[in-house]
Amino acid sequence: MSPVQGPALLKVTDLKKSYGAIRAVGGVSFDVRPGEIFGVIGPNGSGKTTMFNSVLGQITPDAGRIELNGRDITNLSPLELNRRGVGRTFQTLQVFGKMTVRDNLIVAAQEHQGTMFSRMFAPGDSGLGAKADELIDLFRIRHVAHKKAGELSYGQQKLVDIAMAFMSEPDLVLLDEPCAGVNPSLVGGISTLLKQLNQKQKGSFVVIEHNMDFVMDLCHRIMVMVEGQVMAIGTPAEIRANKQVLDAYLGN
């Protein structure tokens, strides 16, 4: 899917965050277009995670503005953001090990199913079974759907974790190192799945990842962060050709 031209889905303006004398994020601005897969790269300590967590409402920025569909979401809680259509994955797995794979997916979306009262009288799967089955098939985990998530391999749990983020069909999903700890043979499969989800759900993704081949293959545009600031934003081809980026980060 090609990004839609027009108003940004996510707009971050002059975002800043310091910890004492340490400036973690020093005035970062960028936007993410509808349908876009937007990558964020940079060396350790470049401010990627602080920026990410500021957007997600997990830390409070010192300054700046964050907008979703033109509305100010700066300082909203993660739960409020989730209800407005923002999903995420973490660097560490967030699956419920004692629940089945299918139940993990259902639980991940239940907060979007109306009021507590309405959920009490919903079907046993809260009406989410069909959506869970659709993602189970897309992620090719049907053969483990009724196993407890804690019994699966790390790579299989990673797939469950990513699938959970898409159960509510969010407008925007932030993926924090989706390839971390994953067997190299699975990396290409994750890229293919994310492309398929981008086509199917028409959502936008922001991806932090250290695997450069993965980012270059997957993303429409990439932002490079160094020392808390934006060094460059461009297409994969533009980033590959940027001498400043090559010298500072890619090492070419």
Could you tell me the residue ranges of all domains in the chain?
1-85+170-252, 95-169
**224 touches 38 (CB < 8 A):** no
3-state secondary structure of 154: helix
Q: Where are the alpha helices (DSSP H) in the chain?
A: 48-55, 78-83, 101-109, 116-120, 129-138, 154-165, 184-201, 212-218, 236-240, 243-245
Read off the pLDDT band of 114 (50, 70, 90): very low
Question: What are the b/e assignments for 8-23, b being 16+ CB within 10 Å?
Answer: bbbbbeebbbeeeeeb
**Helix, strand, coil % over all residues of the chain, rounded to 5:** 40, 25, 35
Read off the tokens for 32: 């993410």
Among residues of the chain, what percentage have pLDDT more than 90?
A: 70
Radius of gyration of the chain (CA): 18
Domain 1-85+170-252, CATH class in plain words: alpha beta
Question: pLDDT per residue over 165-220, tens digit each?
Answer: 999 889 999 999 999 888 888 999 999 999 999 988 788 999 999 888 999 999 99
pTM: 0.88
